[in-house]
Amino acid sequence: MTSHGGANPSANESVPAKQANVLVDPYRDWSEGEGIPIHLDFGHNLLELETGPWDRYEARGCFAHTHGAGDFMANYVLEVAPSAKTRPVRHLYEVFCFVLAGHGSTKVWLPNGEVRVFEWGPKAMFAIPLNCQYQIFNGTGARPLRISCTNNAPITINLYHNLDFVFDNSFAFPERAGQSKHFDGEGDHSTWIAANTIKRNLWETNFVHDLSSFKLYEFEERGKGSTNVSFILADGTMHAHVSQIPKGRYKKAHRHAAGTHVHAVDGVGYSLLWHEGDSEFKEFPWQHGFMYTPPFWMFHQHFNTGPSPARYLACSLGSRRYPFISLRRKSSEGAGSISISQGGRQIEYEDQDPRIHRKWLEALGTSGVASEMGEIFDEPAILKLPPEALSGVISTPRSIGPAV
């Protein structure tokens, strides 16, 4: 019997099989086809990345991909020339925009026919309501503006693998537009109590004028003097929060899912990262413009070495309202600020490897900033530790189980 077309071959005949179409990555194919530079590293200085002409926006741009981005999230940099503007665009993925440099405005066409325009400057953050058409304008003729655009294009494009559906879809989501005041930089403050009785603060809006001066709230569980606020932006599934580290202090180490894009807003310092069982730390120095993404389940810890408080912005998939994945739900329930010895994801100060505080004290010695953590650590003793106490596998307390 002869097999024709798509008919099944008989068990007794040998039919050459065609090459299987497998291991397709639609997001990778799309990004490679956009014709702009693709940068891949552990982290980037977004202010210095090379950009190229981007037809989609009629501007310039580049992809700022990271090794820890995971499967859901990505970042690109949009650059608009002096006195220029992008063309109007829309897309079915969410995007949070953090202004790296420049002054400008955004025009958004809302589902009800209203058109909103809002102006912004450096360190502003705004979100585009899902699938709304928008356009970005450079408000000055002096220099280009740069915007960091953290997005969930990978999961969106990989899920539908149809670019017309993602970029040329007229479906409207009126519930995502938010209140009119949310485009004016106003918002709504609310709180909730996580399962471990930790009070958390939430701000719902579409636009924040300046992340460096926005009001934060006490969050001592993540470190002495730490402050924080989480955002709901355009009723999105993506999450964002801003945290501040006081002068002379640092945060506690913790770990979580992949894809959290951490942007330095102001101040100077560094982050240490390591996997359980590592003997060496990975260090990422930062100041405004730097962004990196901790890989999945990799411990990371943020250190302020400057003479003023330091803030950072973190964007990821799974908002406080819509956690999306179980790891993010656990974070919203408080697991990110509970010791791993109690089933959480955090390393308490008293449990951390002595090299961590020693390295920070040495960095402060260089910057001339005094430590304000002497009430927690015996700092003279740490500085006197012999070399053999500062080597080997990085000390990590025993976990009672994965916080997933």
Q: What is the CATH number of the domain that holds 70?
A: 2.60.120.10
Q: Is 356 domain-assigned?
A: no
Closest by CA position to 361, among listed 346, 375, 372: 372
Nearest-10 crossing angle of helices 153-160, 26-33: 110
- 140-149, 250-259, 319-328, range with the lowest pLDDT: 319-328
Residues 169 and 252 in one domain: no
DSSP three-state, residue 163: helix
How far apart, in whole angstroms, are the C-alpha atoms of residue 259 and residue 74?
Answer: 7
Q: Is 373 domain-assigned?
A: no
The total number of residues shown for the chain amounts to 404
Residues 172 and 202 in one domain: no
Closest by CA position to 401, among listed 338, 341, 334: 341
Residues 118 and 65 in one domain: yes
Q: Is 367 domain-assigned?
A: no
Average pLDDT, the chain: 94
Residues 247 and 282 in one domain: yes
DSSP state letters, 43-99: EEETTT---EEETTTTEEEEEEEETT-TTT-EEEEEEE-TT-BPPPB--SS-EEEEE
Residues 208 and 138 in one domain: no
Residues 205 and 58 in one domain: no
192 forms beta bridges with 200
- pLDDT tens digit sequence for 218-251: 998 899 899 999 999 999 999 999 999 999 999 9
Q: Is 7 domain-assigned?
A: no
- pLDDT tens digit sequence for 57-79: 999 999 999 999 999 999 999 99
Number of C-beta neighbours around residue 118 at 10 A = 17
Domain count of the fold of the chain: 2
Note the pLDDT of residue 1. 45
Residues 191 and 297 in one domain: yes
Residues 223 and 102 in one domain: no
Q: Is 387 domain-assigned?
A: no
Residues 210 and 115 in one domain: no
Note the pLDDT of residue 8. 67
Note the pLDDT of residue 400. 72
Q: Which domain holds residue 128?
A: 26-181
Final residue of a structural domain among 181, 200, 228: 181
pTM for the structure as a whole: 0.94
Residues 261 and 166 in one domain: no
Residues 159 and 115 in one domain: yes
